[in-house]
Chains A and B, each alone.
Chain A
Amino acid sequence: MNNRERAMNILHFRSADRMPAVHFGYWRELLYEWAEQGKISRALADAWHDSNEADRELDRLIGWDFNWATTVGCRNGLSPAFEQTVLEVFPDGTRRVQTHNGVIERIKPGIVSIPSEDDYLLKDREAFETLFKPKMLYYPERVNVEYFRRFNEERDPDRPIGLSVGSVLGRIRDMTTLAGMSYLLYDEDEELFADIVDTYAEMQYQCVKAVLETGAKFDFAHYWEDICFKSGPLLSPDTFEALCGKHYRKRNELLHSYGIDIISLDCDGVVGKLLPTWVSSGVNTMFPIEIGVWGDQFAAAREKYGRQVLGVGGMDKTAFRRDRAAVDGELARLQTLADLGGFIPCPDHRLMPGSDFELVRYYAEKVKEIQIHSQTI
Chain B
Amino acid sequence: MSILNEISVNLQNGKSKIVKALVQQALDEGVKPADILNLGLLDGMNVIGEKFKQNEVYVPEVLVAARAMNMGMQILKPHLAEEGVTAKGRVCIGTVQGDLHDIGKNLVRMMMEGKGLEVVDLGTDVSAETFVQTAKEQDCRVICCSALLTTTMGVMEEVVKAAEAAGIRDRVKIMVGGAPVTEEFCRKIGADGYTVDAASAADMAVAYCKGE
Bound-state Cα–Cα, A106 to B95, Å: 14
Verify A178–B14 contact, CB threshold 8 A.
no
A292: chain B residues within 8 A (beta carbon): 180
Bound-state Cα–Cα, A133 to B13, Å: 29
Verify A113–B99 contact, CB threshold 8 A.
yes
- B120 touches A (CB below 8 Å): no
B59: chain A residues within 8 A (beta carbon): 178, 182, 229, 234-235
- A353 touches B (CB below 8 Å): yes
Bound-state Cα–Cα, A353 to B101, Å: 18
Verify A187–B179 contact, CB threshold 8 A.
no
The residue from B60, B64, B149 contacting A113, defined by CB atoms under 8 A apart: B149
Chain B CB count within 10 A is highest, among A179, A229, A231, A318, for A231
> Which residues of B1-15 are within 8 A (CB) of A?
13-15
Chain B CB count within 10 A is highest, among A116, A293, A318, for A116
Known: A111-B98, A234-B58. A178 touches B179 (CB 8 A): no
Verify A181–B60 contact, CB threshold 8 A.
yes
Verify A185–B58 contact, CB threshold 8 A.
no
How far does the Cβ of A200 sit from chain B's closest Cβ, in whole Å? 19
- A245 touches B (CB below 8 Å): no
The residue from A114, A179, A187 contacting B101, defined by CB atoms under 8 A apart: A114
How far does the Cβ of A221 sit from chain B's closest Cβ, in whole Å? 27
Chain A CB count within 10 A is highest, among B58, B102, B149, for B58
Bound-state Cα–Cα, A186 to B150, Å: 33
Known: A106-B100, A187-B14, A293-B179. A178 touches B196 (CB 8 A): no
- B189 touches A (CB below 8 Å): no
- A259 touches B (CB below 8 Å): no
B130: chain A residues within 8 A (beta carbon): none
Name which residue of chain A comes closest to B101, CB basis. A114
- A160 touches B (CB below 8 Å): no
Verify A231–B16 contact, CB threshold 8 A.
no
Verify B100–A116 contact, CB threshold 8 A.
yes
- A115 touches B (CB below 8 Å): yes
Count of inter-chain pairs, beta carbons less than 8 A: 79
Verify B150–A318 contact, CB threshold 8 A.
yes
Name which residue of chain B comes closest to A231, CB basis. B197
How far does the Cβ of B152 sit from chain A's closest Cβ, in whole Å? 7
> Which residues of A177-225 are within 8 A (CB) of B?
178-179, 181-183, 185-187
Verify A235–B58 contact, CB threshold 8 A.
yes
The residue from B15, B55, B60, B61 contacting A178, defined by CB atoms under 8 A apart: B60
- B207 touches A (CB below 8 Å): no
A186: chain B residues within 8 A (beta carbon): 13-14, 60-61, 64
- A85 touches B (CB below 8 Å): no
- A170 touches B (CB below 8 Å): no
B125: chain A residues within 8 A (beta carbon): 108, 111
Chain B CB count within 10 A is highest, among A108, A179, A233, A293, for A179
> Which residues of B65-124 are within 8 A (CB) of A?
67-68, 98-104, 124
Bound-state Cα–Cα, A87 to B99, Å: 22
Bound-state Cα–Cα, A233 to B152, Å: 24
- A73 touches B (CB below 8 Å): no
- A333 touches B (CB below 8 Å): no
How far does the Cβ of A204 sit from chain B's closest Cβ, in whole Å? 23
Name which residue of chain B comes closest to A116, CB basis. B100
Q: Which A residues fall within an 8 A CB radius of B?
A: 29, 106, 108, 111, 113-116, 178-179, 181-183, 185-187, 229-236, 239, 273, 292-293, 318, 352-354
Query: What 4 A-B pairs have minimum CB-CB distances, sorted nearest first?
Result: A182-B60, A182-B63, A186-B64, A186-B14
Q: Which B residues fall within an 8 A CB radius of A?
A: 13-16, 55, 57-61, 63-64, 67-68, 98-104, 124-125, 148-152, 179-180, 196-197
A-B contact pairs, 7 of them (CB 8 A): A108-B100, A111-B99, A116-B124, A183-B64, A229-B179, A230-B179, A236-B57
